């Protein structure tokens, strides 16, 4: 049985959270003399809403997740780091993750001095719940999944994710940074079923807003409360909150971008297939394509010399001679293809 009380670090459980002026007084007022703010330079003189309720209200409608089940952070990087700070005791606890996957899970484990255990994906870039469970012990607090996965581009089998959620007594994180480019439903729809599920999404990819640094975590209200208790009080600034509100009022624009990028993705796959240097193109559910070429480093260097930057993944597990190519505008993709055709 999953029991959140067994997962939270003792110091976090005992924590008396910082109480800011904006927490203490809730309600309508016209004269605010409680937070030592400068009365001039509105609206930037006031501390922002520490729990970002206006932004969460909009996200709640779009994602079909209750406001109280949403955490917002300074990019997904913040909830990733908080999973360690809130749940993993340095030098005692450990986490288990698929390999290869997004690099930040391991970097944050290292920073927090938490053992990071890797389990290699199979040749189709799928994982086995049993293999992850076999790596775990009584100190395993979190398992990291990423679907669609980075850098491989594929969705993980949802049956296997559910099997892990049922069998593992710790937290399972499903990072869905690329979910908008996939033909599937989000695991955020299954929060009621799985008290140990944390789903990550972000404004950095489909929402076209990597610069504003806004990441989302969806989970049970109990898990979200722990993240709220552990975060910096004003972790999402007012410029980001305002820009997010504007964007959330313009969701049609976002789906237009996504549709264009999906069409460009198919086109790019078709064109890459015709090239002699391309030896394999992996199936993708994301806004990038992982492709194996004859000599990844030579191709990468040629592209760099022409001012075109892709990601060389040659040194990554299971990704020998692979390049990860982000789908760009039709013009950018045409420039890439014309350079690749010269090789």
Ligand X SMILES: *Cc1c(COP(=O)(O)O)cnc(C)c1O
Residues within the interface to ligand X (CB under 6 A): 75-77, 102, 146, 150, 175, 177, 202, 204-205, 210, 215
Q: Name the closest residue to ligand X (Cβ).
A: 75
Write 157-162 long-range contacts (CB < 8 A, 24+).
157/126, 157/127, 158/184, 158/187, 160/126, 160/127, 160/128, 160/129, 161/129, 161/187, 162/190, 162/194
Mind giving me the DSSP string for 159-212?
A: HHHHHHHHH-SSEEEEE-TTGGGSSS--GGGGTTT-TTEEEEEESSSTTS-GGG
Give the sheet arrangement for strand 140-146, strand by strand.
Answer: 70-73, 215-219, 197-202, 171-175, 140-146, 94-99, 115-120
Q: How far is the CB of 59 from ligand X (least distance, A)?
A: 14
- How many C-beta neighbours within 10 Å does residue 27 have? 4
Q: Which is nearer to ligand X, 51 or 72 (CB)?
A: 72
Q: Which is nearer to ligand X, 170 or 215 (CB)?
A: 215
DSSP letter for 156, please.
P
Q: CA triplet 144, 255, 239: central angle to 5 degrees? A: 75
Q: Which is nearer to ligand X, 49 or 77 (CB)?
A: 77
Structure tokens at 85: 């700070």
Half-sphere exposure of 206 (CA within 13 A, CB side): 24
Q: How far is the CB of 210 from ligand X (least distance, A)?
A: 6
> What gap in Å lies between CA 132 and CA 165, rounded to an integer?
11
> What gap in Å lies between CA 59 and CA 66, rounded to an integer?
9
DSSP letter for 313, please.
-
Residue whose token pair is 């005992």: 14
Q: Which is nearer to ligand X, 205 or 265 (CB)?
A: 205
Q: Which is nearer to ligand X, 151 or 170 (CB)?
A: 151
- CB-based burial label for 73 (10 Å; 0-12, 13-18, 19+): buried
Q: Which is nearer to ligand X, 20 or 210 (CB)?
A: 210
Q: Which is nearer to ligand X, 75 or 100 (CB)?
A: 75
DSSP letter for 67, please.
G
Q: How far is the CB of 119 from ligand X (least distance, A)?
A: 17
Q: Which is nearer to ligand X, 199 or 303 (CB)?
A: 199
Q: Which is nearer to ligand X, 104 or 334 (CB)?
A: 104
């Amino acid at each position: 049985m999953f029991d959140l009380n067994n997962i939270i670090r003792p110091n976090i459980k005992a924590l008396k959270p910082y109480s800011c002026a904006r927490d203490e007084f809730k309600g309508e007022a016209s004269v605010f003399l409680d937070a030592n703010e400068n009365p001039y330079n509105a609206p930037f003189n006031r501390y922002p809403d520490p729990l970002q309720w206006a932004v969460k209200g909009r996200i709640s409608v779009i994602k079909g997740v209750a406001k109280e089940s949403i955490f917002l952070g300074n990019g997904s990087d913040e909830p990733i780091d908080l999973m360690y700070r809130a749940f993993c005791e340095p030098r005692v606890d450990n986490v288990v993750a698929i390999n290869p996957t997004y690099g930040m899970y391991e970097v944050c484990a290292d920073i927090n001095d938490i053992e990071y255990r890797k389990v290699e994906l199979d040749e189709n870039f799928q994982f086995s719940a049993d293999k992850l469970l076999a790596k775990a012990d009584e100190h395993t607090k979190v398992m990291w999944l990423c679907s669609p996965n980075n850098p491989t581009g594929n969705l993980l089998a949802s049956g296997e994710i559910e099997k892990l959620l049922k069998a593992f007594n710790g937290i399972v994180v499903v990072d869905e940074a690329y979910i908008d480019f996939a033909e599937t439903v989000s695991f955020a729809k299954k929060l009621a079923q799985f008290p140990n599920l944390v789903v990550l999404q972000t404004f950095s990819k489909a929402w076209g807003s990597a610069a504003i640094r806004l990441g989302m975590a969806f989970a049970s209200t109990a898990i979200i409360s722990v993240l709220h208790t552990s975060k910096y009080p004003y972790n999402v600034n007012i410029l980001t909150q305002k820009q997010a509100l504007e964007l959330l009022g313009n969701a049609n624009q976002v789906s237009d971008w996504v549709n264009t990028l999906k069409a460009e993705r198919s086109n790019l796959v078709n064109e890459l297939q015709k090239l002699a240097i391309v030896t394999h193109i992996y199936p993708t559910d994301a806004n990038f394509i992982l492709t194996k070429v004859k000599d990844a480093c030579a191709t990468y260097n040629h592209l760099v010399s022409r001012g075109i930057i892709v990601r060389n993944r040659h040194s990554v597990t299971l990704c020998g001679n692979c390049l990860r190519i982000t789908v760009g505008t039709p013009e950018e993709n045409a420039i890439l293809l014309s350079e690749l055709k010269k090789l």
